[in-house]
């Protein structure tokens, strides 16, 4: 079974631009979560989508948004990029069977550099 895939793997943008990242979950997984990883900060939870609806949200500004399509694929958008948005953006998927305790499986990430 194919794992979580993310595109693009690397991206360079300039301040003020906007960017869209894509994530395809493991087949059959219905929940997709997004995380930002910066040095020393670990993984910061951005948001989670399930059945095309945002189910959970972390403490990030409104410049960070996302959506999920009917095939469970998800996109994340960051508008008006700032230098501090440079990070590794990770997507994770899980089955979302309704069981409370679930394991998330991560993609390789998209490395975003804002100049």
Partner 1 sequence: DQQVKQNSPSLSVQEGRISILNCDYTNSMFDYFLWYKKYPAEGPTFLISISSIKDKNEDGRFTVFLNKSAKHLSLHIVPSQPGDSAVYFCAASARRNDMRFGAGTRLTVKP
What residues make contact with partner 1 under the rule CB under 8 A?
Answer: 4, 6, 31, 33, 35, 40-45, 48, 50, 55-56, 90, 92, 94, 96, 100-109
Q: How far apart are CA 15 and CA 92, in angstroms?
A: 27
- The answer to whether 54 and 33 are in contact (CB under 8 A) is no
Min separation Cβ 45 and partner 1, Å: 6
Q: Output the six-digit token pair for 114.
A: 């804002």
Q: How far apart are CA 36 and CA 29, in angstroms?
A: 21
Min separation Cβ 71 and partner 1, Å: 19
Q: Output the six-digit token pair for 108.
A: 């390789």
| Complex with partner 1: residue 79 or 108, whichever CB lies closer | 108
Only one residue has tokens 């700032």, namely: 82
| Complex with partner 1: residue 60 or 106, whichever CB lies closer | 106
Min separation Cβ 41 and partner 1, Å: 6
């Amino acid at each position: 079974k194919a794992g979580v895939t993310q595109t693009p793997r690397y991206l360079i943008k300039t301040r003020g631009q906007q960017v869209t990242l894509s994530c395809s979950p493991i087949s059959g997984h219905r929940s997709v979560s997004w995380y930002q990883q910066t040095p020393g900060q670990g993984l910061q939870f951005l948001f989670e989508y399930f059945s095309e609806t945002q189910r959970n949200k972390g403490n990030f500004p409104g410049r960070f948004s996302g959506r999920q399509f009917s095939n469970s694929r998800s996109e994340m958008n960051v508008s008006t990029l700032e230098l501090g948005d440079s990070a590794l953006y990770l997507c994770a998927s899980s089955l979302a069977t309704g069981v409370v305790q679930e394991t998330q499986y991560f993609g390789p990430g998209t490395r975003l550099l804002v100049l």
